[in-house]
Structure 1
Amino acid sequence: MAHDIDQKTAVSLITSQFPHLRPVVAELLGMGWDNVVWRVNGRFAFRFPRRPIGVDCLQAELALLPTLAPLLPLPVVAPTLLGQPGQGYPWPFAGYALLPGQMAYTVGLTAAARNALAVPLAHFLQTLHAFPPEQARALGAPPDRLGRFAMATRVPQLQQLLQELVARGVLPSLEPWLGVITAVSPSPTQAISTPQVLVHGDLNVRNFLLDEAGQISGVIDWGDLHVGNPAADLALACSFLPPVGQAIFRQTYGAIDDETWRLAQFRGLHLTAVLLGDAITAEDAALAQECRLGLQYILGA
């Protein structure tokens, strides 16, 4: 059950626990399944979990980002203000310095501008994935609790998502993407042998920011950080970059075996289908357009 926090309660909690921020002015920055985020005084983002899993996500960030963030080649902000339950709100919450920029999907990037981001994205993921998994586990990184590549579940789930988009008139047919699904699912119980690395876990066009020059100004929303399959993050390269950019990315990142790339395409298709359905429901034209592009990029078009 979700536990939402309104503006009045957010302001009251922040004011009482962080008096140096007075007067507190809070604006809704975003609401997801697990968290609601308030922009405070134009300088901070305060994240309040809406569900118990949101608390788990927050704890993963608190455990890992202080060590990880300084090592990464793109801006990442660790939480610096830790709030406690109170006034009927049952969970801890956290404040972060607000990074500049806009969510990548809102910018309307050209293919050339996307291709130009292939190298910094590859360097970023190369560095993240090189973090020792044993150290990550020791710091508190969980395994993949969502079963992102549990194919017995994920294959029919993705097929249903695509069928629903067809039924809603969003896609003309699911046929173009069947090859992406069958490429990873000759057997739903087939073992996945890719080595485990530290991954962001939810790297999509809403979770990295671009500045006015179209450069990456930050990577946000690290609550799904875990030790798992690198394909979970490589999915962004499949769904955000055109074919030319994908080739640049792969050359820069280093060796990506065919199995991992197919899994990345599968994960990219799954995330993009979810986001497209959400975008249509929310009447978010920019996100819907981004997702339509992503579906084509996954096919190499």
Structure 2
Amino acid sequence: MTQTRKTTAEKLGEGSLYLFMIVIAVVTLYPFWNQVVTSISDESTLYNTGVVLFPSKLSFESYHVIFQYKAIWSGYGNTILRTILGVSLSLTFTALFAYPLSKQDLPFNRTITSFVLFTMLFSGGLIPNYLLVKNLGIFNSIWALVLPSMISAFNALIMRNFFRSIPDSLEESARVDGAGYFFIFRKIIVPLSKPVIATVALWIAVQHWNAWFDALIYITDPKKQVLQVVLRKIIVDNNMDQLNAMLYQLDQKDMFSTRQLQATVIMFSVIPMLAVYPFVQKYFVKGVMIGAVKG
């Protein structure tokens, strides 16, 4: 096979592209790395230099303090519960909704799809959603954070398109053997749809893990508040009264700066997503490409 040699202009173009991507990666990753270094640095050496790439003296005492902060753990528990319920219910009902839409012979298929697309462009707004949650009797409960966003039109269309990419011959042969639609969906469609299921599950999990506005509106009990609202009070509102009171009780008030504790809380909140992402990354590209292009 003949190999075409790259011209000087092509080599310079590739080199410039790689350099540009490296710069973008550094600019993107440095703020995150800065929070990591800040959270594990000793407070006495934290402000010695303007730009800190590596901690001059390691210290994990700030994590030890955060571990004893009860509001963090209650927020963690509520967020984990919300994420598990949200992913489970959203995946189940979105898949059950998308599977019939993937059938061309479904009565009023185009009409139903048009209604789904309509909800992507227009919504009821904040006040009707608030009144709906209140009248349903789920105000100040975990269901107020899970049920309103249980089915996403975008996720349903992605899953519908992926289901359409599965050969019809598989379902036809199963129906010949006497299998019903629910059996086909559970035994054939779901196992073959792992890429799109993993992709949508990651989207839903990240959405619920990072969500804070709905919890700020619908949850009034501090014990039921999610982690992101606790994080927002510490970082955005700079409300560290409870954290400072705990430091006074531990006689460690002068050992940590506000910036260091905020960085530690940030790292503490993103660790679960960093741990989960590598396990679903292999499905991500395939699930998005097939679900977005097919159909």
Relative contact order: is structure 1 or structure 2 higher (C-alpha 8 Å, sep ≥ 6)? Answer: 2
TM range (shorter): under 0.3
The structure having more radius of gyration, on CA atoms, is 2
TM-score, normalised via structure 1 length: 0.21
TM-score, normalised via structure 2 length: 0.21
Task: Report the structure, 1 or 2, having the larger helix content.
Answer: 2
